[in-house]
Amino acid sequence: MRIYVPRDAAAKAVGAEAVAAAVSAEAATRGLPVELVRNGSRGMVWLEPLLEVETPEGRIAFGPVTPADVPALFDAGFGAHPKALGLTAEIPFLKKQTRLTFARVGVIDPLSLPEYEAHGGLAGLRKALTLSPEAIVEEVTASGLRGRGGAGFPTGIKWKTVLGAEAAQKYVVCNADEGDSGTFADRMLMEGDPFTLIEGMAIAALAVGATRGFIYSRSEYPDANAVMGQAITIARAAGMLGPDVLGSGRAFELELRIGAGAYVCGEETALLNSLEGKRGVVRAKPPIPALQGLFGQPTVVNNVLSLAAVPAILAEGGAAYAAHGIGRSRGTIPLQIAGNVRFGGLFETGFGITLGEIVNDIAGGTASGRPVKAVQVGGPLGAYHPQADFALPFSYEDFAGSGGLVGHAGLVVHDDSVDMLRMARFALEFCAIESCGKCTPCRIGAVRGVEVVDRIAAGDAAAIPLLTDLCQTMKLGSLCALGGFTPYPVLSALTHFPDDFATLKEAAE
């Protein structure tokens, strides 16, 4: 009997370790041979801990399971039980998805390279080893893949720039500093399918002529870092990394580095400074990292999800990946649904689904049962969207056109009890705390912004135009997205929820 209990941090947070221990103990007591697999999460967080049992018909799911449920599950032969959910693959939340990047997450043992390969792993890397660097870049360009970390820059163009740069040493850097509120896709993938990220980075190295790579992760992700570190060791021992990648004669070495907790190090140049042992502050551009990045050398800097999408693109072809999505937003996007929702978790789908479908159909509306008031998309620097935006297709262009951003595709849902003035204040306070201090609009503007919002809250109507002007200065004058995007939640709150700014109507009169 093969039983799966996730080792994912979200599952562990709600008791997965105790459930796994209960399964082992119950099997031993009954003298039953049980293979316990600690897989990644399927992404249905409200069902965690989700226990699965392998059967000839497919895996059967039970959840959320507690240690007290385990004896009865054994008594029932893992059949009829109040926590039974049927075939895992038939659960509506999972069945509706198009899983390309997350195809193996929750399915395999994250640290079993044979299982990884049996489920399609290494096919992309093997294909890449038969192609020229230019052909690899062309395949990624044809896929339409864009940066999944927030900026949405075309991955193929970035790789082509690094490929064309002349240098004795080039680098591939993975930005795994996932600091946005309501986001967890990077963590889930690193914990549930780390070899996909390693394979994607190896393909990137082949494409641009790099021989060294670094994964820059967060100190707040101890489980992901532990799994990632073990996966790198396993990959190196198996010849997936090292001086002779899969016997090709091509070299690629990879290291995991852990940051100290600065949110701004999610910005690529601050990240590079941190990797070099310097203070994590933003660099002015130009030069761009693709030409002068880590240690002054040409460097590919991509997010976890961007790099993890690459193996499937190489294995199936760029055109197959580009067949999903709309407009210039191609492929799939792993949505991270959080906040006041009935069904929170990770949902991978093609671009083009509407915001309303995500919130009402997939997330099931609010957990409180109250009406949805606002949805923040793109992390703490993303805009707040009212229900009037629910027809908006989820794509880079559509969100940019509505004064928002896709960002890392995290969505935080709020019901009608939320105070949007407080949310606007939080955005500015967050920026003030996390600013690296390099540029004045961000360093000083955020502090002044908190003061101005406090004036508005106290009834100073004249401060509202000042807040708008200050946001414009931050948006246009900041060196990076921290100061440049902080106005998005502030201005969207002002625009869409004027009743929460008690003096806004008075100011207009």
Summarize pLDDT for 318-364 with one digit per residue, the tens. 999 999 999 999 999 999 999 999 999 999 999 999 999 999 999 99
Nearest to 176 by CA among 165, 187, 164, 161: 187
Question: How do 212-217 and 58-62 pair as beta strands?
Answer: unpaired
- Which residues does 132 contact at the CB level (< 8 Å), separation at least 6? none
- Whether residue 507 has pLDDT greater than 60: no
Question: Residue 284: which region, alpha, beta or left (left: phi > 0; alpha: psi -120 to 50)?
Answer: beta
Residue burial 95-112, b: 16+ Cβ < 10 Å; e: rest: eebbbbbbbbbbbbbbbb
- Whether residue 499 has pLDDT greater than 50: yes
Is residue 484 very low, low, confident or very high in pLDDT (cuts 50, 70, 90)? confident
Helix (H, G, I), strand (E, B) or coil at 414: strand
CA distances in angstroms from 475 to 87, 122, 470, 487, 491, listed in the order given:
49, 43, 9, 6, 11
Residue 504 has a pLDDT of 46
Residue 502 has a pLDDT of 72
Greatest alpha-carbon pair distance for the chain in Å reads 79
Nearest to 336 by CA among 395, 388, 407, 287: 407
Domains (range + CATH), the chain: 2-90 (3.40.30.10), 113-323 (3.40.50.11540), 325-415 (3.10.20.600), 420-501 (1.20.1440.230)
- End-to-end CA separation in angstroms for the chain: 72
- Whether residue 473 has pLDDT greater than 90: yes
Angle at Cα 111 formed by Cα 106 and Cα 113, nearest 5°? 105
**In terms of C-beta density within 10 A (0-12 exposed, 13-18 middle, 19 or more buried), how is residue 71 classed?**
middle
Token digits for 184? 């967890």
- pTM assigned to the model: 0.94
